[in-house]
Chain A
Amino acid sequence: MRHRNKTVKLGRTAEHRNALLANQASSLIEHGRIKTTLAKAKAVRPIAEKLVTLAKRGDIHARRTALALLHNNSTRTATVVGKLFSEIGPRSATRNGGYTRIIKLGPRASDSAPMAYIEWVDIAVVDETIVAPETKKPPAKAAKVKEVPAAEAAGEKPKRAAKAKKEE
């Protein structure tokens, strides 16, 4: 039973875990979407959502609390909190919670760890590779042709082998 086990420990000491989650939350704010294991995505989500709540409050105390949550230890933290308060907070102003979305991606090739994307619901991921296929059909096909040939080639090999046999 999972009763009263609120903290996802991720097999790390508290220091290691807090550093990891602060780093992941910072990366999420920086990039808008990060790919990580499902367990880590689920562990980051509460922190990310609390940060947005702070950003929506927007006062100086909220800003300092956010800095503390992200382990104010570098210039990166300052820029991250700046972006959080200037972009992500205002975008989610009309939303009451549920600021993040987790999309499951299936098992990782190396160790079968379930992977996932975690992203902001209100912020479109500004990434050409993502935007291109979303602009309806022709670009989507073009993008697929560019990026799937290896998979298709792998799928076609057996057919070619079969054709060769038929010809014989």
Chain B
Amino acid sequence: MRLRTRKAANRWHAPKLAKCSQCGASVLGHIACPACGYYKGRQVLTVDAG
């Protein structure tokens, strides 16, 4: 019981997602939005169809 309680803290957790301030898509934190290319209030890349 004690062992399993302890091991439970080591389980896999899904990455926490934030909302893009520009387009509202779910994005990983601290990363330029892959949907619209915005990061910190400016366009940093163009999203290509690939």
Contacts and interface: CB of A to CB of B under 8 A. Distances in A.
Contacts of A132: 46
Contacts of B49: 147-151
Interface residues of B, number: 18
Interface string A113-154: 000010000000000011011100000100110011111000
Given A103-B39, A106-B34, A144-B36, A130 B46 contact: yes
Contacts of A130: 43, 45-46
Contact of A151 (B30, B42, B45, B47): B47
Given A103-B39, A133-B37, A147 B46 contact: yes
Name A's interface SS.
helix
A42 interface: no
| Among B28, B36, B46, residue most surrounded by chain A Cβ atoms (within 10 Å) | B46
A130 B45 CA distance: 6
Interface of B: 28, 30-32, 34-37, 39, 42-50
25 contacts: A103-B32, A103-B39, A104-B30, A104-B31, A104-B32, A105-B34, A105-B45, A106-B28, A106-B31, A106-B32, A106-B34, A117-B44, A130-B43, A130-B46, A133-B37, A133-B43, A134-B43, A143-B46, A144-B36, A147-B49, A148-B47, A148-B49, A149-B49, A151-B35, A151-B49
Given A103-B44, A103-B45, 6 more contacts: A103-B39, A117-B44, A117-B45, A132-B46, A134-B42, A151-B47
